[in-house]
Amino acid sequence: MRLWERVARVFGRRDAGAREEAERILLEADFGVAATAEILDQVTRAPVRDGDFQAALQQAVARLLAAAAPPGGDPGALARAPEPPSVILVFGVNGVGKTTTIAKLAHRLTRERRSVLLAAADTFRAGAGEQLKIWADRLAVPSVGGAGGADPAAVAFDAVAAARARGVDTVLVDTAGRMHTEERLLEELKKVVRVVAKQRPGAPHESLLVLDGTVGQNAVQQARAFAAGLSLTGLVVAKLDGTAKGGSVVAVQRAVPVPIRFIGTGEGLEDLEVFDAQSYAKRLVSG
């Protein structure tokens, strides 16, 4: 039974426990407490037009998802510096699909005829640099890395310098993500931000946080932790390939007022969709 049908059946009972049961359904779908309460408030505040409960629930979800629209209104339009290179920092804890997301972003940018350089500034995770180099070779784009344990900020600095020397349009920087709860990690990431800003005025031009759409409320906690320490310009929710409940995307948007820019729907380079609140709400409510 589809999500809207389950919630509609509960409200159709018109008894005292209807709202509590509806809350349980949405919480089980990973909407989180705050988003669940707001959605149900919106649905119950006004009469459902023509009995179309599906449309009412979908509209309530879409309204939450569209609360933080990006500048210009196009989530897929990544910023470009007045003079190249544009610098895009990509954050996220280990295991969320960050490096694969960077490869997808690089693929998208090259299709937009933007030249790309990848920077392996995650020097702490074993194999992170090699993984990014494999993607760079597959995409036929240059990359810059550092030895294990090297200063991530130094790698980012070298990457921006290399991009300037080669006339590359955009630098995508993979950053470390050991644990979102570690203050030391956040300080290291802040240092990367400061260094690229000194190397290139106005940088970073985008600061994107990658979240795993399958981990439920853990994604909300990660988003809050990173947003508290860094000036994020967008979110990318990975691993929404049909196995995730998907409500966590709504919970994240409710908790952190940062626009969702893309969603990852598979392992292929093409499996990166520009986020659209209405279509995602329809998929979530009708699925």
For residue 242, the model assigns a pLDDT of: 62
Q: Which of 192, 246, 184 is nearest to 215 (CA)?
A: 246
- Phi/psi-derived region of residue 30, left when phi > 0, alpha when psi is between -120 and 50, beta in every other case: left
Between the alpha carbon of residue 212 and those of residues 89, 157, 170, 216, 240, the distances in Å are: 17, 28, 25, 8, 8
pTM of the model: 0.93
For residue 68, the model assigns a pLDDT of: 81
Tokens, residue 80: 């470009």
For residue 281, the model assigns a pLDDT of: 93
Between the alpha carbon of residue 242 and those of residues 154, 214, 266, 267, the distances in Å are: 39, 10, 9, 12
SS3 52: coil
Could you list the pLDDT tens digit for every one of the 287 residues in the chain? 788 888 888 877 777 788 999 999 999 989 999 999 999 998 888 666 656 888 889 999 999 998 887 777 899 999 999 999 999 999 999 889 999 999 999 999 999 999 999 999 998 887 888 999 999 999 999 999 987 778 999 999 999 999 999 999 999 999 988 765 677 888 999 999 999 999 988 999 999 999 998 888 899 999 999 999 999 999 999 998 765 568 989 999 999 989 999 999 998 999 999 999 999 999 888 87
For residue 98, the model assigns a pLDDT of: 94
For residue 179, the model assigns a pLDDT of: 65
Gap between the Cα atoms of 28 and 184, Å rounded: 34
Contact 236, 226 (CB under 8 A): no
Gap between the Cα atoms of 113 and 163, Å rounded: 16
Angle between helices 53-65 and 247-255 (to 10 degrees): 50
Buried b (16+ CB within 10 A) or exposed e, 93-124: beebbbbbbbbbbbbbbbeeebbbbbbbbbbb
Residue type at 171 in one-letter notation: V
What is the distance in angstroms between the CA of the first residue and the CA of the last residue of the chain? Answer: 8
